């Protein structure tokens, strides 16, 4: 069981990908619970929108444009946060991208970019913020946002799923290594969440990309799993010290089946197979 923070009130929380979706909702939830915030994203307009929303709500807010694929920018952000606000108590890695499509139509450049953001982005952020946590000697917490795809990956999401499986492995290693420093680690695995990510997803092999994006957006809206609900579970995980947290019925089912009946996984998730059909342009 990871060490939990017990409360985020009065703590300093870092959130990447805070301009929209789960990252933005997490910043809002942390603000409501009394945390000071250091937020970053590549999207400056969205980040400033989050900043304005949280002014007067959060204990304190510091924002900076950061590309998590750029190690120098990430390290600069960590140094600026420490100078302005102090040592982080909580780091939430929410920055992520989606590339979907048939395996043979997904170029290696897409694989490189997915891993650079979804996996190595979290690695860079942890490498930048964990040393100060360790040196301070009062513990801390890291939350990495994965997906139900960390348990199984449906067709046309091979690259995305591989990045989330890898993130699970990273969390397991960090948990073992930093336990003695009283730094806990959580992996959050949501199902299909209604966020703007569909608007930005790269779709390979689709006949009509705009139409496919709209179909995915409708599917996510119909599913009804909100970013706010995921954010609540993220903050709870950090406070309570929960190692792996599933959000949504499909995520819970996939985790259970991956442990007790892995051979049944390909036959689960009619909705997931329908989404795969949409992503391949057959919907």
H/E element holding 64?
strand 61-65
Choosing from 141, 160, 178, 278, which is the catalytic residue? 160
Query: What's the CA gap between 149 and 190, in Å, rounded?
Result: 9
Q: Would you state the structure tokens that stand for residue 27, as one six-digit string? A: 């910043």
Q: Which residue has the tokens 């809002």?
A: 28
Q: Which residues pair with 183 in a beta bridge?
A: 140
Residue 6: Cβ within 10 Å count = 11
Radius of gyration of the chain (CA): 18
What single DSSP character describes residue 100? E
Nearest CA among 57, 38, 73, 242 for reference residue 142: 242
Q: Would you state the structure tokens that stand for residue 193, as one six-digit string? A: 């969440």
Query: What's the CA gap between 127 and 91, in Å, rounded?
Result: 11
Q: Would you state the structure tokens that stand for residue 40, as one six-digit string? A: 């970053």
What single DSSP character describes residue 8? -
Active site residue 141: no
Query: What's the CA gap between 260 and 262, in Å, rounded?
Result: 6
**DSSP track, 150-202:** GT---TT-HHHHHHHHHHHHHHHHHHHHHGGGTEEEEEEEE-SEESTHHHH-E
User: Catalytic amino acids?
Assistant: 160
């Amino acid at each position: 069981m990871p060490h939990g923070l017990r409360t985020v009130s009065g703590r300093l929380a870092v959130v990447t990908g805070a301009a929209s979706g789960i990252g933005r909702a997490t910043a809002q939830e942390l603000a409501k619970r009394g945390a000071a915030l250091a937020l970053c994203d590549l999207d400056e307009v969205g980040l400033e929108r989050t900043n304005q929303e949280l002014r007067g709500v959060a204990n304190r807010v510091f924002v900076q444009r950061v590309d998590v694929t750029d190690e120098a920018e990430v390290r600069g952000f960590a140094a600026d946060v420490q100078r302005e606000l102090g040592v982080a108590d909580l780091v939430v890695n929410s920055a992520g991208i989606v590339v979907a499509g048939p395996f043979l139509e997904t170029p290696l450049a897409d694989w490189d970019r997915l891993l650079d953001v979804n996996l190595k982005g979290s690695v860079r952020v942890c490498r930048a913020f964990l040393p100060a946590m360790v040196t301070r000697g009062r513990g801390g917490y890291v939350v990495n946002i994965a997906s139900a795809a960390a348990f199984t990956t449906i067709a046309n999401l091979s690259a995305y799923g591989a990045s989330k499986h890898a993130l699970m492995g990273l969390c397991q290693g960090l948990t073992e290594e930093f336990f003695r420093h009283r730094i806990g680690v959580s992996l959050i695995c949501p199902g299909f969440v209604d966020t703007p990510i569909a608007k930005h997803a790269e779709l390979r092999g689709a006949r009509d990309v705009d139409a496919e994006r709209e179909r995915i957006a409708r599917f996510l809206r119909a599913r009804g799993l909100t970013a706010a609900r995921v954010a609540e579970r993220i903050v709870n995980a950090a406070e309570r010290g929960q190692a792996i947290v599933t959000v949504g019925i499909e995520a819970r089912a996939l985790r259970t089946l991956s442990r007790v009946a892995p051979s049944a996984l390909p036959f689960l998730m009619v909705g997931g197979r329908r989404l795969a059909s949409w992503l391949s342009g057959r919907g």
